[in-house]
Chains A and B, each alone.
Chain A
């Protein structure tokens, strides 16, 4: 009898998360899809975002998100993987014991605090170093986002490296292979799917982050124009939703378009999640083969 009650409670808890996700998805669709009736697709996919005068071109926001995410991952990827390799393969036990908790603390810092640091320190520094008209640029946001995604990448990638059996390293060393060659050609490839999952999680963290980017990217919904856009203000999809949702009239076209942007974001993270779960599934199967 007691068993049955507990089983039922656990069942409800399990199903509730599914139901909540479905409800969020339903809500997004309900509020976002009317966009398609109110704004022509040809107007939606234009380069001018100026909602007060009914210009709802979402491409600048789209390109802003992609630009910031791309630069951020380009920075976070080598840095994160490098740190993970150092912790898992090279650092002496004592250094490891200090580094790992530190990285986890970094992961716990609220993004608004990082945004604050970005405004008072990072952005003036960048402005002076590169002699820019403003320090609030795509690059500033990307740097901060890299700081946010690195701990995620490090901790997942480090777990993946640790899961590589010691016998792999021994087998490689026994062939006269050096430590570096073993890391790059044996250990990392053996942990490949876990490392890819780490990067995917980092990307979805970056894409979804709102507060820090909103504070430091300058919030100008301009279209991507070549390489110099990196050092110009931009605006991401998330920052747009966060900054405009508060002022918009409920049920207006602008309101619906903001939800439509939400749907696009949702699809993005869905795709990234599918890719990363594909790799972690693959990882699990490979592990079973090893054991």
Chain B
């Protein structure tokens, strides 16, 4: 077992409309690995991801309990500086959302907000991030075009570059390829394999096959409950829980 990067302990989350999104979830996110959260929609994967970077602060949350430890600190603490937390734990969403800025500024924005103002440093970091996301070759001659002007697959890689520029310790991806073609999807998957030595990856794929392809560790969620957790090589081949088996074999979901 590799060491734990994020440790979720007895975490429960209920929204104001009464929906119990997560019920007493305990889970270790392994460092330098691809951690897959899977299960039918409404299972609590997104809620968990949004808890880890505190995006749930934007939602109407009734109650949370338990702890989420990141590098040993409980990030649910009210005193937690969320901006710094979010720079360390980056997130890519299911739909690519380029901000209403140029391609360059989309990547530079987070850096500027983090206090980086030196144009030379910004430029080299933006270039580096775009190269890492395999986008540089396609956009280097039109960095001043609006972020929205490139194709959907390019936009998602832009969103990835935007997160990478901040040099995060963890990167979370919520159905990152649900709006993408197979070629781009394959590129992003192989990219995740490359970076996992440096950056811990948490991904909630939108389908079973992707889950099985990329998982080092996998966790099955059903209606807010953690049903089963294990190494990806075992969980998809030989699930222990009947419900996991049914889902993996496609009997529901």
| Cα–Cα, bound, A186→B113 (Å) | 12
Residues 177-188 of chain A, each 1 if its beta carbon lies under 8 Å from chain B, else 0: 110010001100
Q: A175-B86, A176-B113, A178-B83 are in contact. Are A169 and B99 (CB under 8 A)?
A: no
Q: How far is the CB of B109 from chain A (nearest CB, A)?
A: 7
A176 near B97: Cβ-Cβ < 8 Å = no
Q: How far is the CB of B22 from chain A (nearest CB, A)?
A: 19
- Bound Cα distance from A13 to B53, whole angstroms: 55
How far, in whole Å, are A168 and B148 apart by their CA atoms in the complex? 12
Q: Does A173 contact B (CB under 8 A)?
A: yes
* A178–B101 CA distance with the chains assembled, in angstroms: 17
Q: For residue B83, which residues in chain A have a CB less than 8 angstroms away from its CB? A: 176-178
| B100 touching A176, Cβ below 8 Å | no
**Which residue from chain B places its CB closest to the CB of A289 in the assembled complex?**
B148
- Find out whether the CB atom of B113 lies under 8 angstroms from the CB atom of A174: no
Asked if B95 is at the interface (CB within 8 A of a chain A CB), the reply is yes
**A97 interfacial contact with B, CB 8 Å:** no
| Contact status A174-B90, CB under 8 Å | yes
Contact between chains at B97 and A168 (CB < 8 Å): yes
Residue numbers in A under 8 Å from B114 (CB-CB): 176
Chain A residues with Cβ under 8 A from B91's Cβ? Answer: 174
B100 contacts A167, CB within 8 Å? no
Q: Is B84 an interface residue (CB 8 A)?
A: yes
Q: Within 8 Å of chain B (Cβ to Cβ): is A148?
A: no
Stretch in B68-76, B158-166, B180-188, B232-240 with 4+ CB within 8 Å of A: B158-166
Size category, A interface: 20 to 34
Q: What separation, in Å, do the CA atoms of A165 and B98 have in the docked complex?
A: 12
Number of interface residues of B (CB under 8 A): 26
Complex alpha-carbon distance, A132 and B83, angstroms: 52
Residues of chain A lying within 8 A (CB to CB) of residue B162: 175
Chain B nearest CB, measured from A91 CB (Å):
15
Note all chain A residues with C-beta closer than 8 A to B93: 167, 170-171, 174
Complex alpha-carbon distance, A290 and B100, angstroms: 11
Please report whether the interface of chain B is mostly helix, strand, loop or mixed according to DSSP: helix
Residue pair B113, A177 in contact (C-beta under 8 Å): yes
Compute how far the CA of A10 lies from the CA of B141 in the bound complex, rounded to whole angstroms: 53
Is B1 an interface position by the 8 A CB rule? no
Are the C-beta atoms of B113 and A171 separated by less than 8 Å? no
Contact: A167 with B55, CB < 8 Å?
no
- Decide: A190 near B55, CB < 8 A? Known: A174-B91, A176-B84: no
B40 at the A interface (CB under 8 A)? no
Confirm or deny: A204 has a beta carbon within 8 angstroms of a beta carbon on chain B.
Answer: no
Q: Is the CB of A186 within 8 A of B148?
A: no
* CB proximity of B165 to chain A, nearest CB, Å: 9
B120 CB–A CB distance under 8 Å: no
Q: Which residue of A lies closest to B60 (CB)?
A: A93
- Flag if A173 contacts B163 (CB, 8 Å): no
What are 22 A-B contacts with C-beta separation under 8 Å? A169-B58, A170-B93, A173-B55, A173-B58, A174-B86, A174-B90, A174-B93, A175-B90, A175-B162, A176-B83, A176-B85, A176-B87, A176-B113, A176-B114, A177-B110, A178-B113, A185-B109, A186-B99, A189-B100, A190-B99, A192-B100, A286-B148
Having A173-B86, A174-B90, A175-B109, one finds 7 other A-B pairs with CB under 8 Å, namely A169-B58, A171-B97, A171-B159, A174-B55, A176-B83, A176-B85, A186-B100
Closest 9 CB pairs of A and B: A175-B110, A176-B87, A176-B86, A171-B97, A176-B83, A174-B91, A189-B100, A190-B100, A177-B113
